[in-house]
Chain A
Amino acid sequence: MNRPRLAERPVPFSEETRTPTDWATPAMQARLRRRYAAERRFRRLGLAAVALSAGFLLFLLATMLAQGLSGFTETRLRVPVDLAAARLTVTPAQLSERRADLALAGAGLQAVVENAASRRYGAPALLSGGAWLRVRDAIKADPALLHRTATFDLPVSSALDLAAKGKGTPQATALVARLRAQGVLGRHLNLAFLTDADSTDPTRIGIWGAFLGSLLTLVVTLALAFPIGVLSALYLEEYAPRNRWTDLIEVSINNLAAVPSIIFGLLGLAVFLGTFGLPRSAPIVGGLTLALMTMPVIVIAGRNAIKAVPPSIRDGALAIGASPVQVVFHHVLPLALPGILTGTIIGMARALGETAPLLMIGMRAFIAAPPSGLTSPATVLPVQIFLWSDQVDRGFVEKTSAAIIVLLAFLLAMNGLAIYLRNRFETRW
């Protein structure tokens, strides 16, 4: 008995016999070689492009560091000051009050210190204009110094400082050589650069004023651009109907992101300063102007991030009975947050480096004191760098590069923080 088998369909019969492809012919081999060569070429090109970009970056960093590192150092001269002999007319009572600064200034401490230096080394104008302040601070800390002779390491004048760093006039260089031979010159870290405000004397300038100005401006920018940008992106993606008006809005926002930043400066000048009468060169005005500039970037990045959230998540939330707002804030926003933060980083980094619009709204003045609030006059780091680079005095050159280093460090820190935040909020799905 034959065991029946279920019908197996016969393989369709083909008239032509199949000739297998011959992979070994020279033509084939040549083609294969060309394809691999194309692969190698492309990889090398990519590598070259990356190397070129990295090269430019390294070049920038190296140049900045080479020029700017010395800006963080200062040359100091050892000066013995006989405060007892100076017989300054200050009482201990005055020293303990807050008016100690004025008292010491009124007592002529500055002249005492400078004369001490000139007498000791036989040359005038050896010290920087702010040198006596160090002595003042020391006396405030320890009033007993007033009755003694004390030796201080005081910053030298700009000319000597330049000479010590090898860029001075011949006379200054000679003087420096003499002083060095005596072993009284020393190179120290100039931390005051980071805590002092702007000044006309390059040995006394610091970036703290500009830094604080940048910080305040960026805080205002972030506080305005981020919520408005994110909420706009959410509304445009989730709620807005698709009609001609929303298309127009989308085109407008895209164009706004490409508008030259100086136009925003004009806008700020005309509207914020002119119509609203806000204080000139204040961080709040700068922040408003930059917020206008940054918002489109955040909206665009936000919309893309929200579009990338899979519709299955929304469907799942809706099917449970979540209201549209709950769907957006509990599900869509957390998943879109990494993309939104990336857009924010890009926007804020651009805002940090913007000079033109802020120049237009007046943040170009010489501001000697750091801003005390959002409405007091301030300047920002890029503008400060621009102003210093304009100065004639050669002492400003290294300080400008040092300020650039600070700006880059600020940028890096901001990016690092944003990347950290992005990684923390990134949920995998």
Chain B
Amino acid sequence: MNEHTVKAFDADIVQLRGLISQMGGLAEEAIAESLKALQRSDLARAEEIRAADKAIDAIAAEVEQLAVQIIALRAPMAVDLREVVAALKIASVVERIGDYAKNIAKRVPLIDGEHRIEPVSILPAMGRMAADMVRGALDAFAARDIQAAVRVRESDVALDDFYDSIFRTLVTFMVENPKTITQVAHLLFVAKNLERIGDHATNVAEMVYFAATGTRMAERDRGNREGEATWRA
């Protein structure tokens, strides 16, 4: 794409995208670190991660203000307008992702207890998958790559399946080890948070697609969500 005739407009867009990337990086880090802290039962680290969420919130507020200013002063049209609107929405979504990561960190002390829980070791893999999705979505935003966005949405299916299997594993473990119910319950929440993070990453991918093309991604087939049904029941 060519540059704008008014060069400052380009600088504003670059600044906006930079803030989103920055936020995204912090969120990915929070996810990875919170799961590491969970595995090692590192309470101090968990506390740090909780505090670091403020940084993500701050950047989200900055993005909001910058986007409003761009709309008011630059009167963006077409692709520029869609990008600014997408950036606004992505910021709030990434802020939510950060909140989920913070929530995981919050549960670390609650899961740490006298009993050892094996299933804890499964979670980092799911966490990595979720973090990859977040990175993929933000990379797609940075590169305006709609193929990458579509791939992110497709990998959400795998994440949902992963969540279903973890759910069953954890429930089985709870039934077999009733003394660990409280801790495992928290683990269930952690898994749920990761699944929600994946859904949010998908939202980001859909917004990237809209910003680039002006149309919505085609609806995908929703897979069989047995586990979900059981949970709801």
Contact = CB atoms under 8 A, between A and B. Distances in A.
Direct contact between A and B judged by beta carbons closer than 8 A: yes
Interface of A: 1-9
B7 interface: yes
A4 B15 contact: yes
Cβ-closest 5 pairs across A and B: A7-B11, A4-B66, A7-B8, A1-B58, A9-B8
A4 B19 CA distance: 10
A6 B66 CA distance: 7
Interface string B44-81: 00000000000000100110011001100110000000
Interface of B: 7-8, 11-12, 15, 19, 58, 61-62, 65-66, 69-70, 73-74
- Which of A3, A4, A8, A9 is most buried by chain B, counting CB atoms within 10 A of its CB? A4
A9 B6 CA distance: 10
B57 to A, nearest CB: 9
Contacts, number: 28
Contacts of B66: 4, 6
A161 to B, nearest CB: 93
21 contacts: A1-B61, A2-B62, A3-B62, A3-B65, A4-B62, A4-B65, A4-B66, A4-B69, A5-B69, A6-B8, A6-B69, A6-B70, A6-B73, A6-B74, A7-B8, A7-B11, A7-B15, A8-B8, A9-B7, A9-B8, A9-B11
B93 to A, nearest CB: 20
Interface of A is mostly: loop
Contacts of A5: 69
Contacts of B8: 6-9
Contacts of B7: 9
Contacts of A2: 62
Nearest to B59: A1
A11 to B, nearest CB: 12
A7 B12 contact: yes
A5 B74 CA distance: 13
Contacts of A3: 62, 65
Contacts of B73: 6
Contacts of B15: 4, 7
A154 to B, nearest CB: 99
Contact of B62 (A1, A6, A7, A9): A1
A301 to B, nearest CB: 50
A8 B6 CA distance: 11
A380 B73 CA distance: 80
Given A3-B65, A6-B70, A7-B8, 14 more contacts: A1-B61, A1-B62, A3-B62, A4-B15, A4-B19, A4-B62, A5-B69, A6-B8, A6-B66, A6-B69, A6-B73, A7-B12, A8-B8, A9-B8
A5 B19 CA distance: 13
A6 B69 CA distance: 7
A3 B73 CA distance: 16
B114 to A, nearest CB: 42
Contacts of B12: 6-7
A303 B102 CA distance: 87
A9 B5 CA distance: 13
Contacts of A9: 7-8, 11
Nearest to B6: A9
Contacts of B74: 6
A5 B15 CA distance: 10
A6 B73 CA distance: 9
Nearest to A4: B66
A210 B48 CA distance: 120
A244 B20 CA distance: 72
A1 B15 CA distance: 15
A364 to B, nearest CB: 80
A146 B74 CA distance: 110
A22 to B, nearest CB: 36
A1 B7 CA distance: 26
A299 B15 CA distance: 69
A3 B15 CA distance: 13
A396 B190 CA distance: 133
Contacts of A7: 8, 11-12, 15
- Which of A5, A7, A8 is most buried by chain B, counting CB atoms within 10 A of its CB? A7
B161 to A, nearest CB: 40
Nearest to B67: A4
Nearest to A2: B62
B64 to A, nearest CB: 10
A8 B8 CA distance: 6
B58 to A, nearest CB: 5
A123 B62 CA distance: 126
Nearest to B58: A1
- Which of A1, A2, A5 is most buried by chain B, counting CB atoms within 10 A of its CB? A1
